[in-house]
Amino acid sequence: MSSLLTWGMYIIVFGALGVLALRDRAKARQAIRVAVRSFLGILPMMLAIIGLIGLLVGLVPSEVISRYMGQGAGWWATITASLIGAVLYIPSLVAFPLAGSLLRAGASITTVAAFLTALVMVGTVTLPLEIKQVGKKIAVSRNLLSLLFAFVIALFMGMVLR
């Protein structure tokens, strides 16, 4: 599904480029120039993020996370879970199975929801890039509010799902 969408993006974006090229060759060339420049401009930071994520995912395996989150319950478990989710970066293809196994292992819905929501919405590793792109105000407040809302969403989910 995800790779299907990626290839879909290729088709749409490069199809649009083709249409633009037919209508205005010079503008199309300019679009390619901007694309190459933004690709190269963002590459150093992207590579650093990839390297950090690789280290993080490789050195902190899922078993360690589930060992920490499987035990304990109540407020502390939920707070810890959302903080772990906020700091870690786990790709969603790994995160959702992990959350599922946590749930089956006996973690509460609130804890799992807090972990998952903070994980996907808060990006500590990517914060430098976010600040560069959208500014400190949006980047920092979005991440802090996301952490807060992860907690709120999790509390409601614990009440709704029994």
Partner 1 sequence: MNTKLAGPSAPGRQAPADRLPQGAPRKKTARQWLADYRWVLLIAIADLLLWLFWPSSAAPVLRNTWDYLLEMILILIPVAMLIGLLEVWVPKQLIGKYLGRESGWRGMALSGLFSTAMAGPLYIALPIAGMLLRKGASPLNVVIFLNVWAAIKIPQLLVETKFLGPAFMLARLALTVPSVILMGWLIQKGIERTGGLDVAPARSEVAR
User: Counting contacts by CB under 8 A, is residue 66 touching partner 1?
Assistant: no
User: Counting contacts by CB under 8 A, is residue 105 touching partner 1?
Assistant: no
137 residue type, one letter? K
Q: How far apart are the first and last CA of the chain?
A: 31
User: Counting contacts by CB under 8 A, is residue 145 touching partner 1?
Assistant: yes
User: Counting contacts by CB under 8 A, is residue 39 touching partner 1?
Assistant: yes
Q: Is 123 helix (H, G, I), strand (E, B) or coil?
A: coil
Of 68, 72, 80, 128, the one binding partner 1 by CB under 8 A: 128
Task: Find the binding residues for partner 1 in span 4-33 (CB under 8 A).
Answer: 5-6, 8-10, 13-14, 16-17, 20, 27-28, 30-33
Of 25, 35, 63, 75, the one binding partner 1 by CB under 8 A: 35
- CA angle (26 as vertex; 24, 29 as ends), nearest 5: 110
User: Counting contacts by CB under 8 A, is residue 64 touching partner 1?
Assistant: no
User: Counting contacts by CB under 8 A, is residue 103 touching partner 1?
Assistant: yes
DSSP, residue by residue, 91-155: -HHHHHHHHHHHHHTT--HHHHHHHHHHHHH--STTHHHHHHHHHHHHHHHHHHHHHHHHHHHHH
Nearest distance, CB of residue 133 and partner 1, angstroms? 3
Nearest distance, CB of residue 157 and partner 1, angstroms? 5
